[in-house]
Amino acid sequence: METAWEALAWADPSPAGAVDAKEDARGAWRIDAFCETLEEAEECVALIEEAAPELTARIEEIVERDWVTLSLEGLPPVNAGPFVVAGSHALTQSSPGKISVLIEAGPAFGTGHHGTTLGCLLALAEARRYRKPGRVLDLGTGSGVLAIAALKVGAEMASGTDIDRDSVFVARENAKKNHVSRFFVHHVAGANNPAIRQAGPYDTVFANILMKPLIGLAGEIEQLSAPGATIILSGLLHHQAAPVRAAYEGHNLLFQKRIKRDGWSTLVFRKKG
C-alpha cells in the first residue's frame, strides 16, 4: 500500500491534485486520489498498478457540488495541546486561551486534521516546554501550518521548502493571514538550497514527508541542526517508523519519543549538545 501512496504523492508533477490514505476500523487501508480530468485519473491508476500490482484501483466520477463549502462544514477546529487549527468559519468556535492557527481547506497539505500534522503539533507543544523553537526548518511545509505554529510560540524565524508550487504560494499566504513574519518559503526538494543552508543551523526541524526521502535526508538534517536541536519527523505508517529511527540514530541523533495518531507515527529526536 505504501508503495502506491508514495508513487502518487511523490510524483513530480503528480496527476492527482490531492492524495489521502485512511485506515478503517478493521485495519484496512484506502488511498483516495482526486483528479480534475479523466486522463489524470487514468494516469493515477497506471501509477498504482505499476507500483503495487496486488492493489485494485477504480475511477469514480464525483458529482459537481460546492466542495469548498462542504469541506469547510466537515472540518471542525483541531485541538493539539495549546494549539487550535481551523478555518475562519470555525476559528470563532475555538477554545479561549488557545494559540490559534488560521488554515483554510485548500490544495496544500496541512489543516491539522491528518494524524501526521497532529503528531508534529503535539511534539512541538511538548518540546517548547523545555526549549524555545529558535530557528525553524520545515521540509515539505505544505500549508505552512507547522512553521506558523512555531512562529506563534516564539520562533525567531522559519525556512520552509516544498516541491509543489501551489503549496509554496499557499504557505506564504497563510503566513500573511496569521500575521507572522520571517517565514521564508522556497520551491525546492529537501534542503538543497543555498538560502536554506545559510539560514542555519536550526534549533527545530520538521520533516513531514515520506519514509524514503526521510531516510535519504538524515545526513543533511543532522548537518543543518544546531547542538541540542529538536528534530520532528512524520509522514510514516507505524511499520515504517523503525527503519527511519535507525537511520537517524545512525547519525548520532538521540531518539526521544514516538507519537501515534490515526495510523501514523511521528518520531522526535534531539541532537547532542
Question: Phi-psi region for residue 44, left (φ > 0), alpha (ψ -120 to 50) or beta?
Answer: alpha
Number of neighbours of residue 217 by Cβ within 10 angstroms: 23
Give the residue numbers of the binding site.
117, 140, 162, 208
Give the residue numbers of the binding site for S-adenosyl-L-methionine.
117, 140, 162, 208
For the chain, count helices (H), then strands (E).
11, 12
159, 83 in Cβ contact below 8 A?
no
- Spatial separation of the C-alpha atoms in residues 269 and 257, rounded to whole Å: 7
**Helix extents (H) in the chain:** 2-9, 38-51, 67-73, 88-91, 115-127, 145-152, 165-177, 194-199, 211-216, 218-224, 241-249
The label of the residue with cell 503495487 reads: 52
**Integer angstrom CA distances of residue 54 from 29, 49, 57, 263:** 13, 8, 10, 21
C-alpha cell at 115: 494524524
**Phi, psi angles (nearest 5°) of residue 63:** -65, 135
Nearest in space to 137 (alpha carbons), one of 154, 150, 118, 122: 150
